[in-house]
Amino acid sequence: MKESILDKKRILAVDDEPDVLSALKEEITEACPNCKFDEAPSYESAVEKLKSQSYDLVILDIMGVRGFDLLSLAVSRNFKVAMLTAHALTPEALKRSIEMGARAYLPKEKLGEIVPFLEDMMTYEYLPGWKRLLEKLEGFFSARWGERWQRADEKFWKEFEEKSKHKIVW
């Protein structure tokens, strides 16, 4: 088995669903047994960990643990953040994740494929990473939201595409 870029990284997963935390831990530690995997089942425990420790990667649920509030805190500490959601799986939440500095936005339905998404997030710079993620999930998002899901906020997505071409920081 080839070594994962996640190996030896310190990772925090925040979700109010114990089965999701368990699945994340299993998927990630199987791919990188030498990573340090911390869990937080609530907003309060996540705030405590985010303020007192350092992480290479943070995975945040959006709904049950006030994920966007935690995203703001994590980004202010320069942690790389992946948003993980089932209930907030909307184009608006995706856009907000990008605007707030998350590095990825993943549907919980893709939990079994989490490791390659996280490896990409750790490998690529911000905009190239987002472009890669959106290309990988294009079919999923189009099937979920309709072929023209970006039309509702066309200006944002055109700007995003332009910045991506020129590698402008968001």
104-107 and 80-85 strand pairing = parallel
Whether 26 is covered by a domain: the verdict is: yes
CATH classification of the domain holding 61: 3.40.50.2300
Whether 104 is covered by a domain: the verdict is: yes
Whether 132 is covered by a domain: the verdict is: no
Band (163; pLDDT cuts 50, 70, 90): confident
Write out the residue range of the structural domain in which residue 97 sits.
10-124
Whether 160 is covered by a domain: the verdict is: no
Using one digit for the tens of pLDDT, what is the confidence trace for 40-92? 999 999 999 999 999 999 999 998 889 999 999 999 999 999 999 988 889 99
Whether 92 is covered by a domain: the verdict is: yes
Q: How many domains does the chain have?
A: 1
User: What is the structure's pLDDT at 138?
Assistant: 92
pLDDT of 1 > 70? The answer is no
Using one digit for the tens of pLDDT, what is the confidence trace for 37-49? 999 999 999 999 9
User: What is the structure's pLDDT at 167?
Assistant: 59
